[in-house]
Amino acid sequence: FICGLENESVYDMDEDDDNEDDDTDEEADQDSRGAFAGFVLMSKGSWDKAQFIQDMKAKWDITVEEDEDGGNRDDAVVFEVGGMIAAVSLMPYPIPDGEAELNAENNYMWPEAVDAAKTHKAQITVAVMGNDAGLKERGELYVKLAACCCRQKRATGIYTSGTVFEPSFFYKFAGMMKDGEFPIFNLIWFGLYRSERGVCGYTYGMECFGKDEMEVLDADAEPSDVQGFLSSMAAYVIEYDVTLNDGETIGFSADDKHAITRSEGAALPGMTLKIEY
């Protein structure tokens, strides 16, 4: 990827005018940064804790040594991994207010997402905490935990990144880490929709990494191409800790330039980066 400024003088001038807005944006970013958490939907209020512990060792070579403060409860496990605290807990009630069902409607890749969300009677909450590790490492640990929970017999879906994923999908794409790849499709949702002028796409989950969400608007392209374009951009930004700014360009080569505009989101609340397709 190659990043650059299209008009450096204009960029510097605008930056001074937006200091007050930037302060507000930074406060919102702080609230979301590092908030790696999700919910595995369960058809019954029970789980196999022993299987989870075995799966963590077999799949990721992580030995679960429970925190003594956790009390070794049957419905929860809390343990430390590389300076991070992993917390996995069974909650014997569904996510309230139909929230999971509503967000399941966003998953255009899984037609049964809404029905799967409606059947859940309980949830396994998965969270990673601790500031001693980087955001990328925390995100990867979260995916490992959630993927193993997806192997639970009664798992019907996983509510994370603004939608509900099929458990087998989430588990499969977590396997990218085995090949040294970043699990972008587990941590970022790439929404797609059509406007009157073309295909639009957006990211959901970049704020967990302290980055602006990205959008592509009115592209004359196939939906799969827009998704691939956004996923490549998102993976690059996260893996190399890149901050994209208004007025810059980004591309796959010196001759490939896509203008960046930061403005109020079209599909999302708040400010987003519009990447020219």
Note the Cα 262 to chain centre separation in Å.
20
CA distances from 51 to 59, 78, 80, 269 (A): 12, 15, 18, 40
Here the tokens at position 76 are 């929860």
3-state DSSP of 55-110: HHHHHHCCCCCECHHHCCCCCEEEEEECCEEEEEEEECCCCHHHHHHHHHCCCCCC
Q: pLDDT by residue (tens digit) across 141-171?
A: 999 999 999 999 999 999 999 999 999 999 9
Mean pLDDT of the chain: 90
Q: pTM above 0.95?
A: no
Largest distance between two CA atoms of the chain: 61
Work out the average pLDDT over 216-230.
97
Phi (first) and psi of residue 81, to 5 degrees: -140, 115
Residue 207 scores a pLDDT above 60: yes
Q: Is 97 exposed, middle or buried (0-12, 13-18, 19+ CB in 10 A)?
A: exposed
CA dihedral 218, 224, 225, 226 (to 10 degrees): 40
